[in-house]
Structure 1
Amino acid sequence: MRFLRNSIFLLLLVVLLPLLAVQLFGGSIARQVVSALNDRLQTEIVIQDYDLSLLRSFPHLAVDLRGVTVAGSDGSQLLEARRMACRLDLGSLFGKIRIKGIVVEEGKLQLFTDVDGNTNYQLTGYTSVGDQGADAGAEPVEFAIDEARLRNVVLVYQDAQLRTDALLTAREATFSGDFAAERYTLATEAELDIAYLDQEGYRYLDRKQLELEANTTIDHAAGTYTFAPLLLHAGELTVEATGTLTPTADGITTDLRLSSSRGELADVLALLPPTAAAPLADWETRGDLTLSATVQGPWTRRVFPRFDGLMALSDGRIEYPRLDLDARNLELEARFAYVDTPRGGGVQTFSIEQLSGSIDGEPFDVSLLMEDLADPRITFRADGSFPMAALPALFDGGMVAEGEGVLRLERVTLSGRYADMIEPRNMGRVSTGGTLTFDDAELLVNGRELSLPTGTLQLDDNALTVTDLEVETGETSLRFSGRATNLVPVLFADSLNSRDAALVFEATLTSDHFDVGELLALSGPDEEEAETAAPTTLDSLGQRARERRNRITEFLNGRFEATIEDWRWDELEGENFRGQLLFSSGQVAVRGLTDAMDGEFRIDATTDFGLLTRTQARITARAVDAETFFAQNENFGQEFLTADHISGRMNARILLDLYYDDAGEIDYNRLAALAGLEILDGELRDFEMLENFAFALKSGDLERVRFTRLANFIEIADRTVYLPAMLIQSSAINLTLSGSHTFDQQLEYYIKVNAGQVIANKISRHDDDLEVLPARNGLFNLYYTIRGPLESYVVETDKSAVKDDFRRSEYRRERIRRTLEERFQTPIELLPVLEGPDADVGG
């Protein structure tokens, strides 16, 4: 019994004594640790609360610091943490306080280096602030830290010298070693979530998970970090690094060896930069991969180390289930090498010495050499057949969705400096060669099929010769042949085309059927997007389509001699077009003759796909059927005078200035037009406005009114059609008319009627043959105004208002005539619009 009592007493003493000591001395110990940290770090530390705990980290003591912020040497915030715990041994309760470890949880650590090499973690030379409750006479605190842990700590790293920017989270990281020693080995284990790693503005890692194991010898006297080794795990891939890093005033000096004896191609692709990895997101890969490399020399803002390495893949396979694409028997040997030059020094090179295999049973072989990565000289060669199904995989999320058929490459080569390839005026220094042939190729572009059944492209230095290249989409069939230059600068142009690269060409275009809408649809939203999009979304889709068209046309500078048997654009249609299609600086011009609407048109139109899509056109029409002209132009958006009301043969000269909204529709608020036109041997049928002149016309002549010629100048502006004074000589009556008519159906017309002729018509028999009445100067005339909306306009007599408007309209008529003569460079005369100098005698 005595032994049992003694044992229990000793046990309670062992347990209770430390607890009692914590209660008695815990506050003092905690304050001493905080004071020591301030003295040691020599920077400002702010702590919201702290205490000493035994149970939380038994068998050790833990000084828990909560709400911790640590200022950097440049005044920035170096560390912010919800909790930082300093681990002490139990002897700290009764003797010297010894800090053995540190744990940081739920924090953020920011490490900055400026362009001069100054960091925000240079903490020497700063006066400590300390804590107001610290005991200045406390027993010294010994730092004997041999372990540090991070849990859910975000690390922000920015190095202006190396132009490196990184953001990562240490889910769990442990660092152990004799940190107080001048030279010691640091053991590291870490699980890292990398948000991004950017270098020189280029993203290398994006949302990757890595595991790290390392034994690193740190020599403070020599200023070196020696890996022996460092292991980086990414999926099944393990990369081993051994060697030394030495920080310098300008950057880092490297002497590293990298190797991997096992790994899968998929793991390497997962580490590619986002811009390269995005198109490969859905690829399934297999293959045995080996890596080996050395990195030696200084790495500074202006200098990069020597990099020599080899990546080899054997028996590789890539599948792309979404497109049913399968590449087999892949063999790859890629090499980085630092090559000495005859003049001294050396250049970094990269080469794909072999990339071969087969895609869907079609063999291919590619090689690439890039000499001097600082000023690359490229040598490229390709042979084989490449399925068009592979093309959409390289443009993930873009316009191209599916592909069929093959593109055959025969001895295709490209050689020269990259700086010359992107500069059109230097293309004489670049060499190209080889033949590309389309074989039953098909692509799905914006949900619409685009076929390239046949066609050959021949490369010869800066020249590209196209022979019988067929392009089909919907009902449209085109065939191209011709010659172009500057293809390479166009292919390598940046997103802003900052070097004004353009494909300069002369070619022929022939077509059995050309539907302009089908070609424009290739750059527009697909049918499903357009049907399901909200109005605001549809506008943005239209804007994107316009930007695509502008992007395409700004790279084209040349002309097509075009022969088109049959063409269509929405409701407009014609045949036998002979002319030119001219491309320059984001503009497309159409010039030529075509049969349409039972007559002939001469067209000179230019469309600009810039910030606003705009078409300016000169159109000459000869012997065109007026009814068809109104019908195919959808009655110009008005219902007052339509195709159902008019017939006859029309001659016209028209100037059009059209703008289009983001949905591709005509913006009628901006529409402007000038025209001089005549309609011969025509007829007005069921024209409501004339029918409402029942007081002046016999009822038998109201439904059909024949005329020999209607001639006038017309202006459209501000959503209004303006008619200068014109003579209407018809089978019912002769009258002079001027006025305006808005797109919102607001009428304002001024009319003069020959009163003597009216009386004569009232007492004569009905004219079943609808003979046109002769023009006469009446002894007196009647004057009417027509004003108001189409549904409820008002007819009134007002001689002065009619005469005033006739005089005003003469100025408009003459201005339109002069403008048309200047633009068409030919005299333009229409019949007089008034009956003569004595027309108003007796009025």
Structure 2
Amino acid sequence: MKKVLKRTMQVLVVLLVLIVAALIIVPMVFKPQLMELAKKEINNSVNAKVEFSDFQVSLLKGFPNLYVGLKGLTVVGIDDFANDTLVAFDDFSVKVDLMSVFGMKNIKVKSVLLDNPRLTARITRDGRVNWDIAKPSVDTTNVEELTKTTTEEPSNLKVALKKFEIRKANIRYVDDSSNMSANVSNLNFILSGNMGMDFTNLSIKTTIDALTFSMGGLKYVNKAKLGFSGDIGADMVNATYTFKDNEFYINAISLFFAGSVKMPKNDIDVDVTFNTNKADFKSILSLVPAIYMKDFDGLQTSGKIKLQGFAKGTYNDKVMPNAGLELAVENAMFKYPALPKSADNINVDTKVNFDGVNMDNTTVDVERFHIELAGNPFDAQLHVSTPMSDMQVAGFFKGKIDFNTLSDVIPLDSLTLKGLLESNIDFGGRMSYIDKQQYDKFKADGTLKLNNFEFTSPDLPQGFRIIESSMKFSPRYVDLASFDSKIGKSDLKMTGRLENFIPFVFNNQTIKGNLNITSNVLNVNEFMSGDEAAVDTTAVDTAAMSIVEIPKNIDFLMTTKVNHIYYDKMDISNLTGKLAIKDGKVNMDNLNMNMLDGSLGVSGEYNTQDIKKPTIAFDMNVKGFDIPTTIKSFSMLNKIASSAKEVKGKVSTQFTMTATLDSTMSPVLNSIDAKGKLQSESIGFTNSKVFGKIADFLKKDALRNPEMKDVNLSFRVKDGRIYIDPFDTKIADFKMRIGGDMGLDQSLNFKTKMSIPRTQLGALNNLADDLLSKAASKGLNVKVSDVINLNVKIGGTTTDPEVRPDWGSSSSDDSQTTAKETVKETVKAKTKEEALKLIADAEKEAAKLHDEAVAAGDKLRAEAKEKGNKLIAEGNKKGGLAAIAAKKAADELKKDADKAAKKLVKDADAKGQALIDKAKQEAEK
């Protein structure tokens, strides 16, 4: 008995050693194959590029716990998101109690660590998101059934997590559709507690070094410091979480939360209150970026505050919790020790009540807002109610702000502010009064004036000035009595009237306006390049622009007159016309201007109603544009007509054009649809490769740098090609008829009929004599006239053109038998039949080669599939790694067979095409 027991113990020890050794050795032996397989499977299941540097499973590293680690992971977008790193982290590791893994019912996770994660979330203007990378893998018809099954049959698996930690996270969120962004820098988070128990205490500690939030071009939060530390009582059975000792802070203001959050099934029940522990005014000021970012520690303050709020109710798809916020500031002031003046008598009384069940019961009450900046008082009041059914507003803005003294109160550093703002506006009533034009029931009167205003900053070094601005308010409209401004070298004056102004401000309704705009100089380059570079020396790459979305709630009619506009390299003068902005479109009505040594008249529209596909539709009348200046001035013409840079002359054209724009405001070339006419008295070509090839062929240097006279042509642009109807012109002593098409990709397909005096034929006279000799040998009496008609085909590209004569369609004007007829009678009738037969035989042989290759390829694929299925069947019998390896081998067989099959077809097609090309060459001899 003792021997049996001893022998049994020895066997158990050996088995235990073998198991431990296997757990250590197996991952090491198969690690490269497993990593490669994991990467391949992951990348096959997502629309992104996924990489990781290492994957570890170890007993030694976390002994006595099992350690699982993933290192150096990156998930990078593709296509439009190719520059976005969606997710990246240095290390993701999990430590698990080894013995709990074997039971698979109550897994004890000791810790989870995510180290240095970087996340980028982006929403494009057209609503696409960069995180939607999962490829569909589940039949959508079964989703409801799957959901029902998983809901009704919960798993018995429980994961008892004790610690979850995030270190040094950086998160970036960009929403281009709403012009909103957020950046989180250096987020650290620790959640600890025994989450495997029914009742436990969770400890949370979170810090964020810098949070920045922007919307509409304004920074509402700038590098704010945030943090939360506290304990939460967790009832895991009833999914109830109760706040205990805790503190949440933003910059210098701290808040204390009380209450609980319940999450029974699909609803979330909230009953939470919060208030501030600190009653000093300085803590509230820390929320103002301009103050918190500059010498905040030395700021002198006094005054009392009250800040409290609540959220109570149910959150689901139909309702939201009720919420409230109350802020009161009493007799406060602040002053910077280094500055001579202060802000005094600050008093604020604000209450916001949000009704999550019936949002029409929501109210906003700013009962009092008063501040005195360097002795200049400003008062405001605002009340809003019934916002959903018929918004009722009431309030006023009264006071003045002397920007000249603002720098005596707040350090402005690199900013310069000057000027005087005076406001005296009173308003009150329901939006329906204005909608029904019951203006006598709505109160709105007062003025807003801004004079001698100046603003400069590092982002706007050229400065912005409002010399004079005056607005008069009434229920019916806002009268813009004057607006006289300057931005750098540009000036802008406006007068007019704005209607529906108050519903626009409070209810996002459409604002209507009729404005007169005048300017002596508008230097657009200053706004695009950020400097005051001279127009003649600095070009702005218009391709760097982005789509400018036209608001759908603006209805403006603007009459414009601008003496000079500097845009890119263009000097545009005497611009007059009307612009109508409405329903997300800008319509141009008889917009006329002088530019590029000529004039331009434009009517049409720019349409952003579908921001995914903005469009343009123009009627244009161009007179006397200088060709070199035009090509240099437009980036798009530089791309599609680069070969025309050495063309000289002036052109006039009348055309209509429609196109879709890409994200850089450039037309999508294949979407351009245009037609019209073009005229020019003279167009000169220098170093043209096309005419250079013609000159070489005809041995006439006069055609190398020709001048084309009396051009009058019709054209059409469609599907990425420019089609030119045949037109007559004259170059040197040669009359020409030119027609054909060219691609926006620079490809050429033209036919040119040339009438050439035989005295100018040069070396081609030898060819004519040869034709006469051949005709005479056939007993034909042939005479060649003094003018030879020669057809020339032009192919290839603008940078590498192919020029060759088309003898089959060339002729003389002689009334007797022509050289063309001679060739047809004596040679071509017979050779054409032979040539066609030669080509037909070659095409038949090419088709045969293709069919044979396809059949051979199909046979290869079928054999690979059969072998693969056998491998998978054998692997499934063995299970485990054998099954995985078998599937991988089967996939590789199919992949190799498919590759070989495609190569067979490709090689056969190449061989067939070579036969056809050779036949064509023989036919052309």
TM-score (normalizing by structure 2): 0.49
Q: Identity of paired residues, percent? A: 11
For the pair 1:680 / 2:696, whether they are aligned, the reply is no
Displacement of 1:253 after TM fit?
Answer: 13
Cα–Cα, structure 1 residues 314 and 744, in superposed 2: closer, same or farther, change >3 Å? same
Structure 2 partner of 1:113: none
Query: Does the residue aligned with 1:693 lie in a helix, a strand or coil?
Result: helix
Residue 381 of structure 1 is matched in structure 2 by 396
Deviation at 1:725, TM superposition (A): 1.3
TM-aligned CA distance change 1:446 to 1:694, over 3 Å: same
Give the gaps of 5 or more residues in structure 2.
1-63, 65-96, 112-161, 166-187, 195-200, 209-219, 233-242, 354-359, 408-413, 532-537, 765-784, 821-925
Q: Give the C-alpha shift of residue 451 in structure 1.
A: 1.6
Aligned to 1:435: 447
CA distance in structure 1 between the aligned counterparts of 2:278 and 2:700, rounded to whole angstroms: 101
Matched residue, 1:637? 639
**Residue 717 to residue 570, structure 1, CA distance change in 2 (3 Å):** farther
Higher relative contact order (CA 8 A, sep 6+): 1
Equivalent residue for 1:572?
A: 570
Question: Which one has the bigger helix percentage?
Answer: 2
State the alpha-carbon separation in 1 of the partners of residues 753 and 305 from structure 2. 95
Cα displacement (A) at 1:506: 0.8
Deviations 1:513-553 (A, max 9, x none): 2344555679x9xxxxxx9xxx9xx99x95xx42xx31x54
Counterpart AA for 1:505: G
1:479 equivalent in alignment to 2:480: no
Q: Secondary structure at the match of 2:573?
A: strand
- When residues 402 and 334 of structure 1 are mapped into structure 2, their CA distance, relative to the original with a 3 A threshold, is same
Q: Secondary structure of 2:663's partner?
A: coil
Alignment of 1:594-605 (within 5 A): 594-605=593-604
Q: Which stretch of the first structure deviates more once superposed, 778-787 or 610-619?
A: 778-787
Distance 2:367 2:742 in 1: 74
Residues 740, 596 of structure 1: alpha-carbon distance in 2 compared, 3 angstrom cutoff: same
Match in the other structure for 1:793: 801
Distance 1:191 1:241, change over 3 A: closer
What stretches of structure 1 of length at least 5 have no aligned partner? Answer: 1-48, 50-65, 70-76, 84-150, 155-166, 174-187, 196-202, 214-226, 339-345, 393-400, 494-498, 525-530, 764-776, 804-834
Summarize the Cα distance change of 1:752–1:253 in structure 2 as closer, same or farther, 3 Å threshold: closer
CA displacement, residues 413-443 of structure 1 (integer Å, 9 cap, x when unaligned): 33235x769x977896754332222332426
Query: Given that residues 486 and 502 in structure 1 are in contact (C-alpha distance below 8 angstroms), is that contact kept between their aligned partners in structure 2?
Result: yes
Picking from 501, 506, 509, the partner of 2:514 is: 506
Q: Are 1:312 and 2:308 an aligned pair?
A: no
2:482 aligned partner: 468
The 1:746/1:377 distance shift into structure 2, 3 A limit, reads: closer
Maintained 8 Å contact 1:697/1:733: no
Matched residue, 1:593: 592
Change in Cα spacing, 1:408 to 1:586, as seen in structure 2 (3 Å) is same
Counterpart of 2:142 in structure 1 is: none
Q: Map 1:349-498 to 2 at 5 A.
A: 351-359=365-373, 362-370=376-384, 377-386=392-401, 404-406=417-419, 408-417=421-430, 431-439=443-451, 440-442=453-455, 449=462, 451-453=464-466, 454-492=468-506
Cα deviation for residue 368 of structure 1 reads 3.1
Q: Kindly provide the amino acid, as one letter, of the partner of residue 436 in structure 1.
A: L
Once structures 1 and 2 are overlaid, which stretch shifts more, 233-242 or 582-591? 233-242
Distance 1:611 1:361, change over 3 A: farther
Paired residue type of 1:567: I
CA separation in 2, counterparts of 1:207 and 1:506? Answer: 47
Distance 1:295 1:695 in 2: 89
Question: Relative to 1, partners in 2 of residues 1:431 and 1:651: Cα closer, same or farther, differing over 3 Å?
Answer: same
In structure 2, C-alpha distance between the alignment counterparts of 1:639 and 1:318, rounded to whole Å: 63
| Residues 589 and 621 of structure 1: CA distance in aligned 2, closer, same or farther (over 3 Å) | same
Displacement of 1:209: 3.8
In the TM superposition, residue 713 of structure 1 has moved relative to its aligned partner by 1.1
Q: After superposition, where does 1:662-681 map in structure 2 within 5 Å?
A: 662-681=663-682
How far apart are 1:505 and its partner, in Å?
1.0
Task: Find the counterpart in structure 2 of residue 554 from structure 1.
Answer: 552
- 1:126-205 equivalent positions in 2, closer than 5 A: none
Name the CA distance, whole Å, in 1 between partners of 2:445 and 2:106.
Answer: 58
Structure 1 equivalent of residue 707 of structure 2: 705
The SS at the match of 1:576 is: strand
Distance 1:612 1:327, change over 3 A: farther
Q: CA deviation at 1:457?
A: 2.2
C-alpha separation in 2, matches of 1:81 and 1:760: 93
Q: Distance in 2 between matches of 1:333 and 1:514?
A: 43
CA-CA distance at 1:579 after TM superposition: 0.7
In structure 2, the CA distance between the partners of 1:652 and 1:730, relative to structure 1 (3 Å rule), is same
Q: RMSD of the TM alignment (CA)?
A: 6.5
The residue type equivalent to 1:282 in the other structure is M
What residue identity is the alignment partner of 1:332?
N
Inter-CA distance 280–785: structure 2 relative to 1 (3 Å threshold): same
Is the 1:653–1:676 Cα contact (8 Å) retained in structure 2? yes
2:708–2:729 CA contact under 8 A, matched in 1: no
2:477–2:498: 8 Å Cα contact kept in structure 1? yes
Larger radius of gyration: 1
CA–CA separation in structure 2 for the residues paired with 1:390 and 1:299: 48
**CA distances 1:254-309 after superposition (whole Å, capped 9, x unpaired):** 999x9989621243467x8xxxx788863747644445799999978889999897
2:659 matches 1:661? no
- Is contact 1:237–1:264 with CA below 8 Å preserved after alignment? no
Name the CA distance, whole Å, in 2 between partners of 1:510 and 1:704: 45
Report the Cα distance in structure 2 between the residues aligned to 1:478 and 1:796, rounded to whole angstroms: 58
Number of the residue aligned with 1:18 = none
Distance 2:327 2:628 in 1: 75
In 2, the alpha carbon distance for the partners of 1:699 and 1:296 equals 89
Distance 1:320 1:505 in 2: 47
1:793-831 per-position Cα deviation (integer Å, ceiling 9, x unaligned): 34322244689xxxxxxxxxxxxxxxxxxxxxxxxxxxx
Q: Distance in 2 between matches of 1:801 and 1:320?
A: 94
Deviates more, 1:735-744 or 1:350-359: 350-359
Structure 1 position 618 matched with structure 2 position 619: yes
Question: TM-score by structure 1 length?
Answer: 0.53
The 5 Å alignment of 1:336-355 reads: 336=351, 351-355=365-369
Q: Distance in 2 between matches of 1:477 and 1:556?
A: 23
- Higher strand proportion, which one? 1
**Residues 409 and 233 of structure 1: CA distance in aligned 2, closer, same or farther (over 3 Å):** same
Q: Deviations over 1:327-373 (max 9, x none)?
A: 611421416599xxxxxxx9997644443233466432223345679
Cα deviation 1:699-732 (Å, max 9, x = unaligned) = 467545362x111112334443332211112443
Whether the aligned pair in 1 keeps the contact of 2:424 and 2:448 (CA below 8 Å) is no
Counterpart secondary structure, 2:279: coil
Equivalent position amino acid for 2:557 in 1: R
Give the deviation of 1:386 after TM superposition: 4.0
Change (3 A) 1:348 1:230: farther
Is the partner of 1:752 in helix, strand or coil?
Answer: strand
In the TM superposition, what whole-angstrom CA distance separates every residue of 1:85-119 from its partner, at most 9, and x where no partner exists? xxxxxxxxxxxxxxxxxxxxxxxxxxxxxxxxxxx
789, 792, 796: which is aligned to 1:784? Answer: 792
Distance in 2 separating the partners of 1:724 and 1:311: 77
Q: Higher mean Cα deviation, 710-719 or 229-238?
A: 229-238
Question: Which residue identity is paired with 1:599?
Answer: G
Q: Do the aligned partners of residues 410 and 661 (structure 1) sit closer, same or farther apart at CA in structure 2, a change above 3 Å counting?
A: same
Contact 1:485 1:503 in 2 (8 A): yes
| TM-superposed deviation, 1:655 | 2.3
